[in-house]
Structure 1
């Protein structure tokens, strides 16, 4: 792909071939084959990111959906992509208010496969009713039973579809009704996967990034218990343990750490780790985030503990 990359149809074919290869590699049984495939795709996606970012932007949903949960670095590469003509604000700009950025009104592009998956959801009609006018809580049980494959595994692609779909509709009506749906879902045993699906939407400046950033901040401030706070923090922070760092993830992390409303550094899951308290004292909370080595130390002793 060179000048031909300007042709949407050729970009679509290129993306489809990469995604098919991704799905095949993700199902490899042997560890050595899986590691080889991971290295190969890291190389391919990095090249695509630098030379043909439109491919990753237009098919972000499909690329993320095809990747195993442990391929965090490659998810970051895809989530960092943005259109060539977009000016992405520096997330470290003092006093930056992301909510008023004009880019935050832009909607991400939808792939045809996402539309097909939405239409195939057996509970789509009930979910639409809940999003529009509110319905009995039975819809939550329907959704949860649908994403549960067996006692220990979940339908991750369906979770990604539901989260993406709810976010798409909730953007126009950001209120407690939409948040309640997510809170009810996140209280279940599948909440780690649901939180990951939310974090996957923290990409370049657009309406989905704004919505899910606000939603994750809301959940962090409203949930109770050290375990819930740690789960939300770990899902967000694990994305920063691998470069490159998606713009939306950086913005969300900085808000959680800097805003006193969230009391991030006084939460029990941090105070229970004396190593991190010792490390942060000389630098202060506002400076702490800027030190990559210290952050990785934080990730090791708090998130992975």
Structure 2
């Protein structure tokens, strides 16, 4: 609905969809008042833990160590924009004095024509690819470098140093990027 609502020009089919969506959600809410249908979906072959178990430690469940299956190529947008090698290099070596972090914002911006068509200044598929890829690489680095015999408490303080390059990227994006409704561009 977002692309149609952004321009506030609703054709007849979109208007029907707009009216029908809240009705479907209200029927679901009425018929299943104690459950959030969307958030409670899980695969049939998975057994959920009992939430009422005393002292349940979520991080100790076997399912927490399984990575989710991602059916798309996470780094496709990074490869298309020739950014993957730069990201990999920064994550591996974290070189001091490099222009990677300072150039990152500019690489995520769309040209004015593309921005007008997309309704945003940023290349959203590229940004999604970057965030997911950097997060996945940080987890892999953490799992590869953290000794399995250490406790979770000591791992938490060590984790910051092991994934510092990924945190640098995330921090740069947090501080450097503006929201799209910010008019100071």
Using structure 1 for the length normalisation, give the TM-score.
0.37
Query: Aligned-pair distance for 1:159?
Result: 1.5
**Relative to 1, partners in 2 of residues 1:159 and 1:40: Cα closer, same or farther, differing over 3 Å?**
farther
1:185 & 1:92 partners in 2: Cα distance?
39
Q: Within the alignment, does 1:125 sit opposite 2:85 as a pair?
A: yes
Q: Larger RCO: Structure 1 or Structure 2 (Cα < 8 Å, ≥ 6 residues apart)?
A: 2
- Identify which of 120, 140, 161 aligns with 2:129: 161
More helix by share: 1
Query: Aligned-pair distance for 1:122?
Result: 2.1
How many residue pairs are counted as aligned between the two chains? Answer: 137
Q: Any stretches of 5+ residues in structure 2 without a counterpart?
A: 29-36, 143-158, 181-185
- Identify which of 95, 109, 128 aligns with 1:135: 95
For 1:249-280, what per-residue CA distance to the aligned partner results, in whole angstroms no more than 9, with x for missing partners? xxxxxxxxxxxxxxxxxxxxxxxxxxxxxxxx
- 5 Å matches for 1:83-162? 83-89=43-49, 94-112=54-72, 114-136=74-96, 137-149=98-110, 153-162=121-130
Q: For 2:101, what is the secondary structure of its paired residue?
A: helix
1:187 — aligned with what? 175
User: Which has the larger Rg?
Assistant: 2
**Relative to 1, partners in 2 of residues 1:38 and 1:113: Cα closer, same or farther, differing over 3 Å?**
farther
Contact 1:123 1:143 in 2 (8 A): no
Q: For 1:187, what is the secondary structure of its paired residue?
A: helix
Contact 2:75 2:133 in 1 (8 A): no
Q: Any stretches of 5+ residues in structure 1 without a counterpart?
A: 1-24, 48-75, 194-305
- Identify which of 136, 146, 171 aligns with 2:139: 171
**Relative to 1, partners in 2 of residues 1:157 and 1:93: Cα closer, same or farther, differing over 3 Å?**
farther
CA RMSD of aligned residues (A): 3.6
**Relative to 1, partners in 2 of residues 1:41 and 1:128: Cα closer, same or farther, differing over 3 Å?**
farther
1:84 & 1:157 partners in 2: Cα distance?
31
